[in-house]
Amino acid sequence: MPPVITRTHLDWLGDQRFAGGAPNAPVAFLDGDGAAAPSPVVTLLNAAASCAATDVVIILQKKRVELRKLTVDVEAHRREEAPRRVLAMTLVWRLEGEGLDETKARHAVELSVEKYCSVMSSLDPGIKITNEIHVA
């Protein structure tokens, strides 16, 4: 089976600003210094969190949980010198829903982060990922 190919196109808008996205799809804006749009690292963290959260929603639906609220806060620790790569990430999950308990939430998050999320799987395996889960 041939690999799945995903494409994106990036346009420089001046200074450290860029617009990019898949062909014929919505465009995302990025700003290298984070002033006019999210920075590339913030975008990476959002991509990881939203990818994992998408899986969590699907997994919880299969567990017959009626999710009312899901938020994820991400804190990344980066090297001080260049390259200022991400060394560790903590994802703080806050979930509310009918039929939701800590066991279901933890299982869904672990499955997503450790098995299903393609963005998480694409990150350097040396990045320490910690999940903090709060169920209301």
Contact 132/95 with Cβ under 8 angstroms?
A: no
Ordered per-residue pLDDT tens for the chain, 136 residues: 888 899 999 999 999 999 999 999 999 999 999 999 999 999 999 999 999 999 999 999 999 999 999 999 999 999 999 999 999 999 999 999 999 999 999 999 999 999 999 999 999 999 999 999 999 9
Residue 66's beta-bridge partner residues? 98
Q: Furthest-apart CA pair in the chain: how many Å?
A: 50
Q: Is the model's pTM score more than 0.75? A: yes
Q: Where are the domains of the chain?
A: 1-38, 40-135
The domain defined by 40-135 carries CATH number 3.40.50.9100? no
